[in-house]
Homo-oligomer: A and B are copies of this chain.
Amino acid sequence: MSSDFAVTVITVRGMTSTSATTATDSAAGPLADLIARHEEVLGQAAAALSARTFYARYPDSPSPRVHGEGAAEAGLTAYRGHLDADFDLGDQPNTGASVGSEVSPYGPVLGVRYPQFDIDAGLAAALAAMRDWRDAGPRARAAVCVEIVDRLHARSFEIANAVQHTSGQPFVMAFQAGGPQAQDRALEAIVAALVEQERIPASARWEKPGRDAPLVMVKDYVCVPRGVALVIGCNTFPTWNAYPGLFASLATGNPVIVKPHPRAVLPLAITVAVCREVLAEAGFDPALVQLAAEGDGERLAADLALRPQIAIIDYTGGPAFGGWLEREAGALGKAVFTEKAGVNTIVIDSTDDVRGMLANLAFSLTLYSGQMCTTPQNLYVPAAGIGTPDGVLSVPEFATALGEAIGQLTGEDARAVELLGATVNDGVRAVSAGLADLAAEADGEIVVSPREVTHPAYPDAVVRTPGVVRLDVGREDIYTQECFGPLSLLIVTDSTEQSLAQFVDTVREHGAMTAAVYSTSEAVLAAAREAALDAGVALSENLTGQVFVNQTAAFSDFHGTGANPAANAAYTDAAFVAPRFRVVATRRHVPA
């Protein structure tokens, strides 16, 4: 009946193996090397992720002692090599046209020309690449992914320059958050994906006791991908926010189309090029990762999101398009992971370290001109003031002291720009420029005035220190709006109890990526923890040192929770990874 079937099958399907472990077991050459080389780091990272203790594979200091003399210069040279040139994506399908309109928030035009993505050809190539990647199994995929991240790490300085000149981040931050810290978030996603898949045994022997002899079956389980994944990048953190979804999808077997923000293409273009290089070296089709560069005014993200081949979408950006994706792609049954925005909140009750608190708050507000999705916006203070070891600090005194603390960080232009970076777009600039109008509209007062900073190297950069507007707790109409940029609101409440109640209500309704509390009272801290659970947002307590509310650490801190409207997912929990693959089992009897 089927004497010559094997040949036919092999011709038609390419391979007949269905075991999840076959590729790994039989892997030879580059793939076997990768699996062996990255076994240890995968084990270490999995242990850290499980215990949620400190772990970092990629050192985030830009010091030459870490990266070697000349690394920074070589990275800058590599970055400059991309400018005013065609970006090489090898044989990735494209329309033949070139696109690209990046302008640095610091001023210079980048002039990089990218091959325009060809949707139909790109999706077809992605699907065609999927089977071998699936059959490779979880561990081979994880090893390839770690190799990609290691190669990205080696290009951290090049990527840092690309991040700086697309996001407007200051250089050191662009290096740290855009390089090693993003790489650690990538590794976290890879490990989470590997652990999740390896929780499913490759095979099980099932013995059901019977009257005479047991019923015995062998069952094999294979993790299969959902389809093609789409990663939609953002302007401000092109790598940090794209890597978790990119690597979670890739490590679970899905080809990935990376659609960068049109103003922040280069960091992800370099990333995609590295992915393709490593995939090809390991014997896989580089079409597993493709860059979807688009021309001005195209709606490529929306077009791609609705294509039936796309099964998974990761998005970071504004709430309008994020909400559209959740509705439209969610209605089509796609797995949609979004990080949008919210009203990040700090409840200030009392402190035993006024200087530490002010310095910490000032840094959080200043860093990258408040353009982090985690920057505090709403600072609640009780009208009666803040308890300190030296007595009550009144609201006006607190505001003045906060302004002074910001001034200490930003008083000197050359130093200030190393924290502030540059404003990324006109929307952010309008927020800063509109402070007086906002204060008037809110019946409030500017209590910390923004200052124009002149960048010593980039005179065209628009740089502003953070401003703070005081307003009354009754003006929910103002403070439940997200004001993205260098602006925070000092909201005067009747009591800390009211502060906490407003914290819960506003975050439940409008979302938040971060929250913090300052108090010396255990009862207030306990109530704040309860409020954080109710609001569904992570809480930092009494930060007065070198940890800031806007920072989350891979392997230990969840970034976002998925429990409030700011984001429907967290980096990285099981819910971020498990829905990206399915398990297909085969079962058969074997002798007892």
- Chain A residues with CB under 8 Å of chain B are 1-2, 5-6, 8-9, 12-13, 15-18, 50-54, 131, 134, 196, 199-201, 204-210, 215, 217, 219-222, 224, 226, 326-328, 330-333, 349-350, 382, 384-387, 392, 496-497, 519-524, 526-527, 529-530, 532-534, 536-547, 553, 556-558, 561-563, 568, 570, 573-575, 578-579, 582-589
Q: Which residue of B lies closest to A517 (CB)?
A: B586
Residues of B within 8 A of A206 (CB): 52-54, 553, 556
Closest Cβ–Cβ distance, residue A118 to chain B (whole Å) = 24
**A582 to B199 Cα, complex, angstroms:** 20
In the complex the two chains form, what is the Cα distance from A430 to B584 in whole Å?
34
**Bound Cα distance A532, B574 (Å):** 26
Query: Are A587 and B222 interface neighbours, CB within 8 A?
Result: no
CB distance from A171 to the nearest CB of B (A): 21
A387 interface neighbour in B2, B201, B574, Cβ under 8 Å: B2
Find out whether the CB atom of B52 lies under 8 angstroms from the CB atom of A1: no
Beyond A1-B349, A532-B586, 17 additional pairs, beta carbon < 8 A:
A1-B385, A2-B350, A2-B519, A6-B522, A9-B530, A16-B530, A50-B201, A54-B206, A134-B533, A330-B333, A532-B584, A537-B584, A539-B585, A542-B589, A573-B578, A573-B583, A579-B579
Closest 8 A-B residue pairs measured CB to CB?
A: A1-B387, A6-B523, A18-B529, A563-B582, A16-B526, A574-B578, A541-B588, A331-B331
Is there contact, CB below 8 Å, between A575 and B584? no
Q: Measured between C-beta atoms, what is the minimum distance from A64 to chain B in Å?
A: 17
Bound form: Cα–Cα A215–B5 in Å? 64
Taking each of A328, A520, A523, A570, which has the highest tally of chain B beta carbons within 10 Å of its own beta carbon? A523
The smallest beta-carbon distance between A440 and chain B, in angstroms, is 31
A-B contacts, 8 of them at CB < 8 A, read A1-B384, A1-B385, A5-B527, A16-B523, A53-B205, A330-B333, A532-B586, A537-B584
Contacts A204-B52, A574-B574, A587-B557 hold; do A524 and B582 have CB atoms under 8 A apart? no
Q: Is the CB of A575 within 8 A of B578?
A: yes
Contact pick for A538, options B53, B385, B519, B585, CB 8 Å: B585
Most chain B beta-carbon neighbours within 10 Å: one of A200, A537, A578: A578
Residues of B within 8 A of A221 (CB): 52
Contact (Cβ within 8 A) B2 A349: yes
**From residue A512, how far is it (CB to closest CB) to chain B in Å?**
11
Cross-interface CB contact of A523 among B9, B209, B586, cutoff 8 Å:
B9
What separation, in Å, do the CA atoms of A199 and B52 have in the docked complex? 10
Contact: B217 with A547, CB < 8 Å?
yes
Could you say which residues of chain B place their CB within 8 Å of the CB of A199? 50, 574
Residues of B contacting A537 with CB < 8 Å? 584
Q: Is the CB of B587 within 8 A of A51?
A: no
Contact B521 A207 (CB under 8 A): no
Known: A205-B53, A222-B533, A331-B328. A582 touches B570 (CB 8 A): yes
Closest B residue to A549 using CB positions: B587
Cβ of A5 and Cβ of B333 under 8 Å apart?
no
A204 to B578, CA, bound (A): 23
Q: Are A219 and B52 in contact (CB under 8 A)?
A: yes
Q: Return A495 CB to nearest CB of chain B, in Å.
A: 9
Closest chain B residue to A573, Cβ basis: B583
> Given A52-B221, A563-B582, A582-B536, A2–B530 Cβ distance below 8 Å?
no
Q: A563's contact among B204, B224, B387, B533, by CB below 8 Å, is which? A: B224
Across the interface, A530 reaches (CB within 8 A) one of B18, B204, B546, namely: B18
Chain B residues with CB under 8 A of A331: 326-328, 330-331
Q: Are A585 and B557 in contact (CB under 8 A)?
A: yes
Structural contact, B573 and A533, CB atoms closer than 8 A: no
Q: How far is the CB of A392 from chain B (nearest CB, A)?
A: 7
- Given known pairs A204-B53, A207-B53, A331-B331, the reply for A561 and B574 (CB within 8 Å) is no
Taken together as a complex, chains A and B put the C-alpha atoms of A12 and B527 apart, in Å, by: 10
Distance A41 CA – B201 CA, assembled complex (angstroms): 21
User: Chain B contacts of A587 at CB under 8 A?
Assistant: 538-541, 547, 557
